[in-house]
Amino acid sequence: MRMSDMIEEFIKELFEEEDNDYIEIQRNDLAEQFNCVPSQINYVISTRFKPSQGYYVESRRGGGGHIKIEKVNVTKSNYLMHIIKNMKEKLTSLIKNSYAPYSNVHFACIVETKSGNFYSGVNVENASYGATICAERNAINSAICAGEREFSALYLMTDLDSIAYPCNLCKQTMLEFFDDKVLFNIMNTKGDMEVLSFKEVMTKIFSKGDLMWKVVL
């Protein structure tokens, strides 16, 4: 039996032993158990525990590579609702860290990589407006610093009354690393949401009409 098959079988056996809809594993511990490199574990999880196969994977950096694998209904609508609910909760918490004393408009972003990892960012404003960094670029740059180069999805939240799309600087960064398969989930704190392809996002504009500046006296 090949190593990949052995790892897959072991993970599926964990589901049976736990008698639960999800399991939590440590990538480094599993790699040590099978005497393989951690990237071998990543490969098995990314190819054999995909949404189309009935699994949702959440990976966090640090702590030996903590991974949560959850069984989900594989219908597209149910899977999307599962992802959206999970990400909305994370973004709602993350947006509180946004630093926006000049516009008072807050953004939070999470990018998902093809390796199954998630990286977050918020907008960080500066008195020199040109030095402001958007949430999208902060999230993407965090992933790049961690060695990631391939992305599968982007989740963006704002506290504006309407949906707000990435600015042209962010789009330029996305063009450097994203392909046509990256899925965008753009929402606001009021519950409005759009699911768009990369090509669709590139046709959207972020204008002064979207950004309702609040003057701080």
What CA–CA distance (Å, rounded) separates 125 from 100?
Answer: 5
The pLDDT of residue 214 is 42
Retrieve residue 15's tokens. 């589901």
- Per-residue pLDDT of 147-180, as tens digits, reads 999 999 999 999 999 899 999 999 999 999 999 8
136 is catalytic: yes
**Number of domains within the chain:** 2
The answer to whether residue 50 sits within a structural domain is yes
Q: pTM of the prediction?
A: 0.66
**Of 39, 71, 103, which one is at a domain's C-terminal end?**
71
pLDDT at 215: 40
Please state whether 12 falls in left (phi above 0), alpha (psi between -120 and 50) or beta: alpha
Q: Are 95 and 190 in the same domain?
A: yes
Angle between helices 168-177 and 135-145 (to 10 degrees): 30
- Final residue belonging to a domain, choices 20, 52, 71: 71
Task: Give the pLDDT confidence score for residue 213 in this predicted structure.
Answer: 42
Q: 54-97 pLDDT, tens per residue? A: 787 887 655 567 888 888 765 555 666 666 778 889 999 999 99
β-pairing verdict for 183-188 and 151-158:
parallel
The pLDDT of residue 82 is 66
Q: Residues 70, 112, 125, 136: which is the catalytic one?
A: 136
CATH code of the domain containing 55: 3.30.56.130
Kindly state whether residues 50 and 95 are assigned to the same domain: no
Question: Domain of 18?
Answer: 3-71
Categorize the per-residue pLDDT at 216 as very low, low, confident or very high, splitting at 50, 70 and 90: very low
